[in-house]
């Protein structure tokens, strides 16, 4: 750790929350034979992963990091890292294992017991759980057509059922969980899932994607209301958004208008209803050719607009946009057009790029945090994900006999530069209360399978060994320093 990094650690307040994040389908495993007795419905990700060609390495989440059974070991790991908090998600398909059970309100006791034990183990380790209700693993029975059901998030039913699911979790874990996050990155769920088809359920239909946007908003509102109804004011509520940081390619009016339009379809569709109580009417104009938004019903906006305690922001990179010239950029021609934004061109990112092909621009984190903090001064802001993938290589650890490690200076650099940018925002008055590194360990990177590694800890999948990368050691030291002096 450099002196500058040490000084940076000291700049953070003593009660700042240092954490790390994962998601159920990405780490749990336990979906096959052994899990049958435990009860679990198929999720849309099982289905999607089994379609040849959908996943880069043809894999699925059936084993992943086996955290469902290995959580005691993983909590010990968190403890050793010195984490204050663990951001995890609950698998909806484990809680209600069939449509019949869901409709009858019959919760799967075994899954409830499992998460209860895990939450108790976290409490024992003095690690605060930040629980996400939905991180993309929708039960397949809500996607399949049965009566009024089916279509997943394109169907209003799914939002209504999410409200029941949230109530069941609040009832089940209310005395063990303080911070409840309704959704993780509804942008991905709606647009990657229903417009681009790059995520489950693999639909490519812009009108369905916009219906999904609205129903995810509605689900959020119903979820917050259900949690508060069950637990009252002791429950802290939040939502996690991957707010896009769009930069205009030039200062021209056209490019700035393209940026504003990209911001609306990516960010304002959530911020407006959830935090301001309305959709920006310009969004309806932008998407006129796609849908008339007739799925919005009277009372929906009031339902969606619930008071929140905090806003979670996931931040990875920025993108540069411009008004599409008559002849569309060849790079963009391959890309999926933005919903309602075929006149927006996304420019290729500029290096040095991560293994995901994403640019590294810590200033984007500072900017979005300052912007949100100025706009919503009453909300705490948590960085619920931030991290990077690199071509990690296992090598012998010179320091430990026979041990292995990964030297990942690029990841340490990414992390420290983003923390520096975050601290700048903080020092300029932003109300940031926590930071969660994505991810605690390498895991199932969705359509990229196990080919991309975001962990601060390496997972050797065949043996399931957890191996500390340099970043893990660096983060532990950083956290220690921030509490010292």
| Binding site residue list for substrate | 26, 135, 184, 316, 438, 445-446
Residues flagged as binding site: 26, 135, 184, 316, 438, 445-446
3-state secondary structure of 224: helix
Give the integer Cα–Cα distance in Å for 482 and 15.
9
Specify the residue for token string 């008559």: 326
Nearer to ligand GBH, 357 or 409 (CB): 357
Pick from 71, 92, 438, 475 the residue near ligand GBH by CB under 6 A.
Answer: 438
Pick from 9, 23, 235, 239 the residue near ligand GBH by CB under 6 A.
Answer: 23
Q: Give all strands of the β-sheet with 318-323 in edge-to-edge order.
A: 245-248, 318-323, 344-346
Q: How far is the CB of 61 from ligand GBH (least distance, A)?
A: 11
Q: How far is the CB of 352 from ligand GBH (least distance, A)?
A: 15
DSSP 128: E
Residues 203-262 that bind ligand GBH (CB under 6 A): 242
Q: How far is the CB of 26 from ligand GBH (least distance, A)?
A: 6
Give the integer Cα–Cα distance in Å for 143 and 201.
8
Give strand ranges (E) for 335-448.
344-346, 380-385, 394-396, 404-406, 432-438
Of 81-89, 147-155, 274-282, 314-322, which part binds ligand GBH (CB under 6 A)?
A: 314-322
Give the integer Cα–Cα distance in Å for 269 and 260.
12
Of 151-159, 280-288, 310-318, 362-370, which part binds ligand GBH (CB under 6 A)?
A: 310-318
Give the integer Cα–Cα distance in Å for 275 and 257.
23
Residue 188 binds ligand GBH (CB under 6 A): yes
Give strand ranges (E) for 167-235.
179-184
Pick from 258, 317, 365, 479 the residue near ligand GBH by CB under 6 A.
Answer: 317
Give the integer Cα–Cα distance in Å for 340 and 286.
5
Pick from 97, 181, 184, 320 the residue near ligand GBH by CB under 6 A.
Answer: 184
Q: How far is the CB of 342 from ligand GBH (least distance, A)?
A: 16
Residue 56 binds ligand GBH (CB under 6 A): no
Nearer to ligand GBH, 179 or 319 (CB): 319
Q: Which residues contact 432 (CB under 8 A, 6 or more apart)?
A: 16, 369, 373, 380, 381, 382, 383, 422, 425, 426
Q: Is 292 a catalytic residue?
A: no
**Which positions from 92 to 111 touch ligand GBH by CB under 6 A, shown as an x/- string?**
--------------------
Give the integer Cα–Cα distance in Å for 92 and 106.
13
Which residue in 28, 268, 385, 424 is the catalytic one? 385
Q: Tell the burial category of 265 from Cβ atoms under 10 Å away from its Cβ (0-12, 13-18, 19+).
A: buried
**Which positions from 392 to 431 touch ligand GBH by CB under 6 A, shown as an x/- string?**
----------------------------------------
Nearer to ligand GBH, 353 or 404 (CB): 353
Q: Is 185 a catalytic residue?
A: yes
Nearer to ligand GBH, 301 or 317 (CB): 317
Residue 319 binds ligand GBH (CB under 6 A): yes
Residue 316 binds ligand GBH (CB under 6 A): yes
Q: Tell me the backbone φ, ψ of residue 469, rounded to 5 degrees.
A: -90, 165
Contact 124, 118 (CB under 8 A): no
Q: Tell the burial category of 148 from Cβ atoms under 10 Å away from its Cβ (0-12, 13-18, 19+).
A: exposed
Residue 153 binds ligand GBH (CB under 6 A): no
Contact 438, 400 (CB under 8 A): no
Pick from 284, 293, 358, 461 the residue near ligand GBH by CB under 6 A.
Answer: 358
Give the residue among 80, 72, 73, 3 at the shortest CA–CA distance from 475.
80
Q: How far is the CB of 467 from ligand GBH (least distance, A)?
A: 19
Which residue in 185, 268, 361, 424 is the catalytic one? 185
Give the integer Cα–Cα distance in Å for 329 and 172.
52
Residues 449-478 that bind ligand GBH (CB under 6 A): 454
Of 96-104, 147-155, 182-190, 362-370, which part binds ligand GBH (CB under 6 A)?
A: 182-190
Give the residue among 376, 15, 380 at the shortest CA–CA distance from 179.
380
Of 3-11, 105-113, 184-192, 229-237, which part binds ligand GBH (CB under 6 A)?
A: 184-192
Contact 359, 415 (CB under 8 A): no
Q: How far is the CB of 318 from ligand GBH (least distance, A)?
A: 9
Written as six digits, the tokens of 296 are 């919005």
Given the rule CB under 6 A, which residues bind ligand GBH? 23, 26, 184-185, 188, 242, 314, 316-317, 319, 357-358, 385, 438, 445, 454
Residues with a known catalytic role: 185, 385
């Amino acid at each position: 750790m450099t002196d500058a990094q040490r000084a940076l650690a000291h700049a953070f307040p003593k009660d700042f929350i240092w954490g790390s994040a994962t998601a159920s389908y990405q780490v749990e495993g336990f979906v096959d034979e052994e899990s049958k007795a435990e009860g679990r419905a198929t999720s849309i990700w099982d289905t999607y992963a089994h379609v040849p060609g959908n996943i880069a390495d043809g894999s699925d989440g059936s084993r992943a990091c086996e955290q469902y059974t290995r959580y005691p070991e993983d909590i010990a790991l968190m403890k050793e890292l010195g984490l204050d908090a663990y951001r995890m998600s609950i698998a909806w398909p484990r809680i209600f294992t069939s449509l019949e059970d869901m409709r009858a309100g019959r919760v799967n006791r075994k899954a409830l017991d499992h998460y209860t034990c895990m939450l108790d183990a976290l409490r024992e380790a003095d690690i605060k759980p930040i629980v996400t209700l939905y991180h993309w693993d929708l039960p397949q029975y809500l996607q399949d057509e049965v009566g009024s059901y089916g279509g997943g998030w394109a169907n209003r039913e799914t939002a209504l059922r999410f409200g029941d699911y949230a109530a069941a979790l609040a009832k089940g874990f209310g005395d063990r969980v303080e911070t409840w996050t309704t959704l993780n990155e509804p942008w991905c769920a709606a647009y990657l899932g229903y417009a681009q088809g790059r995520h489950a359920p693999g639909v490519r239909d812009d009108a369905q994607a916009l219906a999904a946007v609205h129903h995810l908003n509605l689900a959020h509102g119903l979820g917050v209301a259900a949690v508060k109804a069950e637990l009252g004011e002791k429950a802290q509520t939040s939502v996690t958004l991957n707010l896009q940081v769009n930069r205009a390619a030039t200062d021209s009016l056209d490019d700035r208008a393209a940026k504003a339009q990209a911001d609306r379809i990516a960010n304002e569709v959530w911020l407006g209803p959830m935090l301001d109580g309305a959709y920006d009417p310009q969004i309806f104009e932008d998407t006129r050719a796609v849908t008339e938004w007739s799925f919005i019903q009277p009372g929906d906006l009031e339902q969606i607009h619930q008071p929140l305690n905090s806003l979670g922001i996931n931040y990875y990179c920025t993108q540069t946009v411009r008004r599409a010239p008559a002849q569309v950029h060849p790079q963009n021609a391959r890309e999926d057009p933005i919903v309602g934004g075929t006149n927006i061109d996304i420019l290729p990112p500029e290096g040095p790029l991560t293994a995901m092909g994403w640019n590294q621009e810590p200033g984007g984190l500072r900017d979005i945090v300052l912007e949100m903090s100025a706009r919503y001064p009453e909300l705490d802001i948590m960085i619920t994900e931030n991290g990077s993938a690199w071509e990690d290589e296992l090598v012998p650890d010179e320091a430990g006999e026979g041990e292995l490690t990964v030297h990942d200076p690029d990841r340490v650099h990414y992390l420290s530069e983003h923390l520096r940018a975050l601290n700048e925002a903080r020092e300029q008055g932003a109300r940031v209360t926590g930071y969660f590194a994505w991810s605690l360990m390498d895991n199932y990177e969705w359509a990229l399978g196990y080919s991309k590694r975001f962990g601060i800890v390496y997972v050797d999948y065949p043996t399931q060994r957890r191996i500390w990368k340099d970043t893990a050691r660096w983060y532990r030291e950083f956290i220690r320093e921030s509490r010292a002096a």
